Amino acid sequence: MRLLDSYLELGVVGMARAGASGWFGGHYGAALLAGYYMNQEHDLPEHVKEGIERTCEAYRELKPEWFVPLDQEEQADPSLLQLVIDGLRNNVKQLRTSGHGLALGVMALKALRQRPDLIRPSVVDGLVTLLQKTTEDRPNRYWGIPNYFEITVEDVKAEVAPYDTTLEMTKRIFDELDTIVPGRTIEGVHYFFAGEVEHNVTHGHALTDLERFGYHDLVQAGMANHRIQMYLDRQMPEFVLEDEVREPAFTEIFSPAYWEKTYTDPHALKVPYAALDLLKRLPAEERPAAERSVCKLLTIMV
């Protein structure tokens, strides 16, 4: 068994233990899950597998206490999975934290559906805490908008036309990758810019997984939030376009130039995982251009 095979359990456990200190820490366990599922769902070249393992081990070294194996005496209770689903349902009531409640929570749900023996009280408690914290955010997250909590679907309909299917949503997601600008601090406030576009990808991918799992009510509510997110992600001052990534450093997600590095940002695994799955939904002739656009995001990953 190689390291990749251990990342399902360690990923869920890491997410759950991170919950007590805030939702952002859940990214690291989610990155391990992303690595695990990339390996399970795609025929990865060896250099990609090695790159995933090297980066995941670096994440584990940051917080080793989060990734200690579970106490095997704690009994699983599959009925507790409903609490995680309830946490996801709470997240689709409104857009918060750029869809992280779904981007993180659906990965945990996917893992627990595969491994019901991991549905243990300590794991579920941590995940529920994490999901609750993803509903809390700063209202000035997006440039030029004092309080994004007030933005509704009605407010964005002229700029972001409705989409009723996850396939149409997927096509829109790749269209939004045309303009990629690194984040920056403006007048003392940090704006993520490219980071928000990453979240557009991971949030949308989570909705496609919820559809696969049969949670159609969550998908419809979530797509409304995703439209609002798409509108918010476009908000930026003209002068930041001087930093726009016009050409990617590589054009394929499996490029050795990407996987030879060790990353500190957990999105370095989460974005390729989500993008690879979403690309499969596109017609074959549209995939190369869409993948090239994803690589603009990956070019500035750290």
Tens-place pLDDT, residues 176-194: 999 999 999 999 999 999 9
- Whole-angstrom distance, CA of residue 249 vs CA of residue 261: 13
- Whole-angstrom distance, CA of residue 216 vs CA of residue 131: 19
Tens-place pLDDT, residues 77-135: 999 999 999 999 999 999 999 999 999 999 999 999 999 999 999 999 999 999 999 99
Ranking 37-41, 67-71, 276-280 by mean pLDDT, the lowest is 67-71
Tens-place pLDDT, residues 46-58: 999 999 999 999 9
- Whole-angstrom distance, CA of residue 285 vs CA of residue 279: 11
Tokens 């409640």 -> residue = 101
Tens-place pLDDT, residues 194-215: 999 999 999 999 999 999 999 9
Looking at residue 72, its pLDDT comes to 84
Looking at residue 71, its pLDDT comes to 84
Mean pLDDT of the chain: 98
From 25, 32, 42, 38, select the one nearest 3 (Cα to Cα): 32
**Which H or E run contains 69?**
none
Residue 1 pLDDT grade (very low, low, confident, very high; cuts 50, 70, 90)? confident
- Whole-angstrom distance, CA of residue 11 vs CA of residue 202: 17
Cβ atoms of 167 and 208 within 8 Å: the answer is: no
Tens-place pLDDT, residues 136-165: 999 999 999 999 999 999 999 999 999 999
Helices 194-213 and 100-114, packing angle to 10 deg: 40
The single-letter DSSP state of residue 261 is S
Predicted structure pTM score: 0.97
Cβ atoms of 111 and 118 within 8 Å: the answer is: yes
Beta carbons within 8 Å of 282's beta carbon, 6+ residues apart: 170, 171, 174, 290
How many residues are listed for the chain in this entry? 302
Cβ atoms of 25 and 114 within 8 Å: the answer is: no
Cβ atoms of 161 and 151 within 8 Å: the answer is: no
Task: Please compute the mean of the pLDDT values over residues 213-237 and round it to a whole number.
Answer: 98
From 2, 84, 26, 19, select the one nearest 267 (Cα to Cα): 26
Beta carbons within 8 Å of 123's beta carbon, 6+ residues apart: 12, 13, 16, 70, 112
